[in-house]
Structure 1
Amino acid sequence: MLQQLTINSNTYHGFSLEDAVVGARKAGFTQIELAAVKDHTAHVLPDMSRKQLEEIKFLLKTNGMTCVGIGAHSNVMTEEGRENLIRSIDLAVELDCKYIITATGDAHNDTDKIEDEEALAKNLEPLIEKCEKRNKMLLLETHGNNYATGGSLKKLAQKLNNRVKINYDTANVLFYADILPYEDLEASVDYVEFIHLKDKLGSYQEWNFPAIGDGFLDFPRLFRTLRQANYQGPISVEIEFTPSGPKDLDEVNESVIKSFNYLSNIFKK
C-alpha cells in the first residue's frame, strides 16, 4: 500500500504549494492531492492563468510529484458552488488526474440541512455528465451535516451514477457523525475510491487532527479492511492540527515526515 500514499496539500494550509510539494517530496511522497478551495487552501483554482497552471505542472514535474486528485470542496446546493465544481473538473483534465473531490455542503461550518435528496441529485447531474465526458470520477467526502458517514454516502451513490463514489475521511466520521470509522468503512468500502487518512486526538467533536500515528485511530485495523476489499485507490494523508494551526512550516514538515515514516513501517509488516 506504500505506492498508494499521497499527501493532501491542505496539510500545508497557510503555506504555498511549493512548500507543500518540496516538503512532502523530502518526506518520501511522490503523489499529491491538490487543494482547490477558494478562501481556504487555494493551491490551484479554475480561474488560474495558463502561465500559473504551467508553473504548477513544472513544479510537480521537477520534484517528481504526480497529481492524483483535485480537492475542490463546493456547496453543490448553490449555483455558485456547482459552477465552481464544474470548472474544477477542467483542472483534473489539465493536471491529468482521475478524481475530483467535494462534499455536498460548505467546505467549513456546514450547518445546512438538505431536506430534498431529489434536488441534490438533480444538482449533481451536470457534474456527473461532465465527469462522463472527461472520464473523471466525482467523489463525495464523508463530511458535514448531511452525509458524514460512508454508509449514508453509499446509499446516495447507489441512487446516482457509477461515476459517483466515496472519498472516505477516517477522522471526519468522528468529528461530524460521532462514530468511529471501523464498521462504517467495512460497510461502505465497496464504494470507496479515495481515502483521506486523518488521525484524531481529543473528544470526537474537537478539532484536533495530528500527524498520523499521534492520535488514537487504529490504522492497522483500517488497512486490514482496505486490503480485504482489494482497495486500489489513493491514501491521502491530511494533517489539520488544531484551530491555532502549526507554529511554523518546520512543524508541518516534521509532521509529514513522521506520518510517512509511521505508515511505511506499518506497510512493511
Structure 2
Amino acid sequence: MLEQLAINSNTYHGYSLEEAVKGASEAGFTQIELAAVKEHTAHVLPDMSPGELQDVKQLLLDYGMKCVGIGAHSNVMRKDGVENLLKSIDLAVEFNCKYIVTATGDAHGDTDVIEDERVLAANLQPIIEKCETLNKLLVLETHGNNYPTGSSLKKLSKMLHKRVKINYDTANVIFYGNVLPYGDLEASVDYVEFIHLKDKLGVNNEWNFPAIGDGNLDFGRIFATLKKGNYKGPISIEVEFTPAGPANLEEVNDSVQRSFNYLSRIIG
C-alpha cells in the first residue's frame, strides 16, 4: 500500500506550495493532494490564470510529483459554496486526477445543521452531474456537525449517486464524531474511495493531530481493515498539529519525514 501514499498539501498550511512539494518530495512522497481552500490553504484555486496553473504543473513535474486529488472544501449548503465546488471540478480536469474532496459544511467551525437532506441532495445535483460528465468522483469527508462518521456518509452516498463516495479521515471521526475509526471504518470501507490518514492525541474533542505514529491510533489495525476491504484509492497523509501550529517549516518537514518513515516500516 506504500504506492498509495500521498501528502495532503494542507499539512503545509501557511507555507507555499513549492515548500510543500519540495519538503514532501525529499521525505519520499511522489503523490500529492492539492489544497484548494480559499482563505485557508489556497495552494491552487479555480480562478488561477492559465499561466499560474502551468507553473503549478511544472513545479509538480520538476519534483516528480503526481496530483491524486483536489481538496476543495466548500459549504455546499450555500450558493457560493456550490459555485466554488463546481469550478473546482475543473481543477481535477486540469491536473488529471479522479477525486474532488469536500465536506458538506465549512472547512472549519462548521455549525450548520442539515435538517432536510433533500436540500443537500438538490444542492449537490449539479456537482454530481458535472462529475458524471467529466468522469470525476466526489468524495465527502467525515467532518463537521452532520456527517462525522463513515457510517453516516455511507447512508448519504447510497441515497445520492454512484459518483458520491467517502473520504475517510481517521482522526476526524474521533474529533467530530466521538467514535474510534476501527469499527466505523470496517462498516463503511466498501464506500470509501479516498483516505485522509491522520493521527490523534489528547481527548476526543481536542485539536491535536501530530505526525503519523506520534499519536494514539493503531494504524496496523486500520491498514488491516483497508487490506481486507481491498482498498485501492489514495492514502493522503495530513498533519494538522495543534491550534498553535508548527513552530516553523523545519517542524513541518520533520513531521512529514517521520510520517513517511513510520508508514514505510509498517506497510512498506
> What TM-score do the two structures reach when normalised by structure 2?
1.00
SS at match of 1:159: helix
Q: In the alignment, what sits opposite 1:77?
A: 77
Tell me whether 1:86 sits opposite 2:86 in the alignment: yes
SS at match of 2:176: helix
Q: In the alignment, what sits opposite 1:129?
A: 129
Structure 1 residue 201, shift from structure 2 partner:
0.5
Q: In the alignment, what sits opposite 2:139?
A: 139
| Aligned mates of 1:25, 1:144 — CA distance in 2 | 31
| Aligned mates of 2:152, 2:117 — CA distance in 1 | 12
Supply the RMSD in Å over aligned alpha carbons.
0.4
Q: In the alignment, what sits opposite 1:200?
A: 200
| Aligned mates of 1:98, 1:21 — CA distance in 2 | 20
| Aligned mates of 1:67, 1:112 — CA distance in 2 | 31
| Aligned mates of 2:77, 2:216 — CA distance in 1 | 34
Q: In the alignment, what sits opposite 1:214?
A: 214
Unaligned runs of 5+ residues in structure 2 are: none
Code of the aligned partner of 2:218: D
Deviations 1:71-97 (A, max 9, x none): 000000000000000000000000100
Code of the aligned partner of 2:68: V
| Aligned mates of 1:204, 1:60 — CA distance in 2 | 36
| Aligned mates of 1:148, 1:202 — CA distance in 2 | 18
Tell me whether 1:3 sits opposite 2:10 in the alignment: no
Structure 1 residue 16, shift from structure 2 partner:
0.1
Structure 1 residue 179, shift from structure 2 partner:
0.7
> What TM-score do the two structures reach when normalised by structure 1?
0.99
Tell me whether 1:62 sits opposite 2:62 in the alignment: yes
Structure 1 residue 212, shift from structure 2 partner:
0.1
Structure 1 residue 183, shift from structure 2 partner:
0.2
Q: In the alignment, what sits opposite 2:12?
A: 12
| Aligned mates of 2:219, 2:167 — CA distance in 1 | 17
Tell me whether 1:189 sits opposite 2:189 in the alignment: yes
Structure 1 residue 195, shift from structure 2 partner:
0.3
Q: In the alignment, what sits opposite 1:227?
A: 227
Percent identity reads: 72
Code of the aligned partner of 2:184: D
Deviations 1:213-267 (A, max 9, x none): 0000000000000000110000000000000100000000000000000000001
Q: In the alignment, what sits opposite 1:265?
A: 265
Q: In the alignment, what sits opposite 2:119?
A: 119
Tell me whether 1:251 sits opposite 2:259 in the alignment: no
Code of the aligned partner of 2:139: L
